[in-house]
Amino acid sequence: MKPIVIASANGHQFRNGGPDTCVERAFRLMTEGADVLDAIVEGVTIVELDPGETSVGLGSLPNADGVLELDACCMHGSRRRAGGVAALQGVATAAAVARRVLLDTPHHLLAGDGALQFARRCGFETRDLMTPNSRAIWHEWKRRLDARLGDRVADAPSEERMRMGYAVSLEMSLERLIDANHLWGTISCSAVGPRGDICGVTTTSGLAFKLPGRIGDSPILGAGLYARHDVGAAGSTGRGESNLYSLSSFAVVHAMRRGMSPKDACMAALREIRDATVDPELLNTKGRPAFNVKLYALNAAGECAGAALYGGDAVQYAVCTENGGELRTCEALIDEGHEFVD
């Protein structure tokens, strides 16, 4: 078995001042004998602790109230175990906490204050996760939203606030004040180890400026992540609600179990998302989804693929093999290079 690690593009873009990216660290550790899940959690920790990555862990973009709430999930194929945390505050390394849920409890998911207290009992330190940069971005977003709401700031309905808030987020992304890839955030990382063990992990700060308490797809088994020991693994980034509705990661693994290649399985799941998007507020002027979703999959044979609703040269995923780490271009379901906000 030739080992392989795949991840979203930020898995080979951030080093937090060290020598390795996420995929490089994970590949090195598991080929040196570390458990595959331990290796990929160590890998994503690099990204979680890098304040330059505003969609994961330290310095990522908060909810609408300016509070960071993190979600994460991990799965160990051969152990048939999973662990996750949701709405976790104060601990940047949410993936490592999710791993402790997998190892130390009979549960799959802890949320809110319960997840925080569990993390503290496990020895994780808590801190303010906001940085001057993330706080400044949130203040600018809130200033623009309040200006749009005017004298209705205090009593505007939640639905209207969310709709206007998302419009402000898109506006700021078009102005390059926010990386468009960071509106939904997330790093997903999966691997096949030297002995064939298959594991996956996903960690995120979720949708930027989300409704407080909102949980996305990342900590939910089958939505943001799924791994099966004899088949493969899949993870996702992008609009979490679409992955939740379609259980995209489970759908990809199930399709691979039926014999599909990772690429074909990802494309089939993306077509399901496209066809299920009928809400006018989620469609662009061409009647297509006004958001992006990216899927990353590998099978037990070590074949892998990355695919997205909307592609282009900048829409990439990360891979590391014995030949080292690299970024590859995602396959696109809809017009390669097409901007989903058009």
Residues forming the active site: 186
**CB distance 240 to 220 below 8 Å:** no
d(CA 32, CA 213): 40
Q: Say how many C-beta atoms besides its own lie within 10 A of residue 331's C-beta.
A: 19
- Beta bridge partners, 340, equal none
Give the CA diameter of the chain. Answer: 63
Tokens representing 285? 């002027």
d(CA 165, CA 148): 9
DSSP annotation of 211 reads: P
Phi/psi of residue 308, nearest 5 degrees? -145, 155
- Beta bridge partners, 326, equal 319
Tokens representing 252? 């990809």
Task: Please give the distance of CA 52 from its chain centroid, rounded to a whole number.
Answer: 16
d(CA 36, CA 31): 9
Nearest to 2 by CA among 190, 192, 263, 227: 192
CA angle 83, 235, 249 (to 5 degrees): 90
Task: Give helix 94-104 / helix 36-48 axis angle, nearest 10°.
Answer: 150
Q: Say how many C-beta atoms besides its own lie within 10 A of residue 308's C-beta.
A: 27
Sign of the C-alpha dihedral computed for residues 203, 209, 212 and 216 taken in this order: negative
